[in-house]
Amino acid sequence: MKLYNKSELMPLLESFGFNFSKTLGQNFLIDKNILDKIIDNSNINKNTNVLEIGPGAGTLTYELCKRAKKIVSIEIDNALIPILQHNLSEFNNFTLINDDIMKIDLKKVISDNFGSEKFILAANLPYYITTPIIMNIFEGGFNVESMILMIQKEVADRIYASPGTKNYGALTVGVGFYARPEIICQAPPHCFTPQPKVSSVVIKLNVYEKPPYYVNNKEMFFKTVKSVFSQRRKTLVNSLSGSPFINCDKVKIEKNLKNMDLDLKIRGEKLSIEQLAELSNQLFK
Ligand code: SAM
């Protein structure tokens, strides 16, 4: 089945009376080259478990089912369920769940299907839920090995940013704390049907077994990060001392900046993940 082939996909969708939903971010992949890159870079083999979010018509799912051990796909749109059942009927390593990824009990889905085994996350994500999904999976403490994701270019730029640049922010630090991001390829609008207004990027997040940054209090680290980037025009001292998320006085912050050999007028956005971790460790012992 060549679902990446628009001339095969469209008549099939029509035969089921399917209409694309804009609100569900439905832009289906129709580019074989991009599909191959996703598969090649996901390092899937017969021992791999895959959790897929938003399978659509099953274009990526089909390729995953051919190669992986077990695939569990979660799709919100009822109208796609018979289409997916039809397109993936030849596989017995495929489980389809008709639910909303933002509401489903993901812990249960993962333990029911993968037990304590590792899995990878694969998704051509609806743009409106990209960031919460990525962060929920990280923060859920799941045994996820890597994530291979199609995301909006602008979000990829924020994930893959360097300190001091305009794209560097809470998302860069939040993702970078848990994983090493790797840009796989660009996917311009013509790689999808219907064409989205924005360009996309395939990104791989290689999840660290153990974050390389030591933090003694994860909650306070993330509150520090939130404080820094919600007031990013201010100096680090002012954004932290005036933050509603943490309680820290100026003198203490200045003392710790001096200990770290940092300028007292520095803005928080200049600090690397390692420096933010060190600062939060000093402030919240
Ligand atoms: N993976 C397919 C592909 O690459 O052709 C479809 C990708 S399309 C960008 C996003 C898919 O996510 C759609 O099938 C859409 O119905 C589904 N989706 C949107 N919101 C969802 C949610 N909250 N939970 C689960 N699936 C969702």
The torsion angles phi and psi of 146, rounded to 5 degrees, stand at -160, 165
Which atom number of ligand 1 is nearest to the Cα of residue 61? Answer: 1
Same-domain pairing of 132 and 52 = yes
Same-domain pairing of 159 and 82 = yes
CATH of the domain at 151: 3.40.50.150
In a domain, 247, yes or no: yes
Ligand 1 within 6 A of CB of 73: no
Question: From ligand 1's centre to the CA of 75, what distance in Å?
Answer: 6
Question: From ligand 1's centre to the CA of 159, what distance in Å?
Answer: 21
Name the residue with the closest Cα to ligand 1, atom 1. 55
Domain assignment of residue 260, given as a range = 218-283
Helix (H, G, I), strand (E, B) or coil at 135: helix
Ligand 1 within 6 A of CB of 53: yes
Same-domain pairing of 104 and 150 = yes
- Summarize pLDDT for 99-117 with one digit per residue, the tens: 999 999 999 999 999 999 9
Domain ends where: 207, 237, 260? 207
pTM of this prediction exceeds 0.85: yes
CATH of the domain at 237: 1.10.8.100
Does the structure show a pLDDT above 90 at 62?
Answer: yes
CA distance 118 to 134: 17
- Nearest CA to 11 among 21, 23, 1? 1
Tally of structural domains, the chain: 2
> What is the model's pLDDT at position 68?
98
In a domain, 213, yes or no: no
Same-domain pairing of 138 and 257 = no
- Summarize pLDDT for 29-50 with one digit per residue, the tens: 999 999 999 999 999 999 999 9
Same-domain pairing of 242 and 203 = no
Amino acid at 82: P
In a domain, 156, yes or no: yes
Same-domain pairing of 171 and 241 = no
Same-domain pairing of 122 and 234 = no
CA distance 232 to 222: 15
- For the chain, the helix, strand and coil percentages under 3-state DSSP, each to the nearest 5: 45, 20, 40
